[in-house]
Amino acid sequence: MEKSTKIGIIICDRYRDCAGGKCFRSMKNREGAFSIYGKDENIEIVGYTSCGGCPGGNIEYTPEEMIKNGVDVIHLATGMVVGYPPCHRIDHFKRFIKEKYGVDVVVGTHPIPQKYYETHTKLGTWNSNKWQEIIEPTMSTEEVRLAYN
């Protein structure tokens, strides 16, 4: 029997009008943080919303709505990592959702676009071990990062 995983995505409120094109493309292609799912695994989006804006008010209750739709994993979108400044609440959101709702949380969706990679590299944004761990699921080859510019 084919494995099936239901996914919820929470995006940064700065991008609340985002249609999700990069996230959905990377999900289909199993790129970025979606590379953890096998090509033969059925994955389905069962929730897509913003964090609600700083300090992330939707984080408190939207996972519950996603759980009602059968969510297995919640992804905190790549926009939380590449926006400027990156969301400094990512770790808190991840721990809160896991602790309160018992749902696995992955930081990232689509690969980091090259233009953001270059900017944050120049700024030294991700120089710490903590940030290296956070961006690891969305790192990719330069060729793939360019495809997401």
pLDDT of residue 3: 83
Q: What is the pTM of this model?
A: 0.94
pLDDT tens per residue across span 98-122 = 999 999 999 999 999 999 999 999 9
pLDDT of residue 2: 72
Question: Coil, strand or helix: which one is 100?
Answer: helix
Find out whether the peptide bond into 86 is cis, omega within 30 degrees of 0: no
Q: What DSSP letter does each residue of 35-91 carry, written as one string?
A: GGS-TTSEEEEEEEEE--STTTGGGGTHHHHHHHTT-SEEEEPTHHHHSSSPPTTHH
pLDDT tens per residue across span 127-145 = 999 999 999 999 999 999 9
Element (H, E) at 144: helix 142-147
Q: Give the domains, in start order, of the chain with CATH numbers.
A: 4-147 (3.40.50)
| CA dist list (Å): 53 to 15, 57, 59 | 10, 7, 10
pLDDT bucket at 1, cuts 50 / 70 / 90: low
For the chain, what percent of residues have pLDDT higher than 90? 91
pLDDT tens per residue across span 40-72 = 899 999 999 999 999 999 999 999 999 999 999
| Sequence-ordered list of residues with C-beta below 8 angstroms from that of 103, at least 6 positions apart, any chain | 63, 66, 67, 71, 72, 73, 74, 97
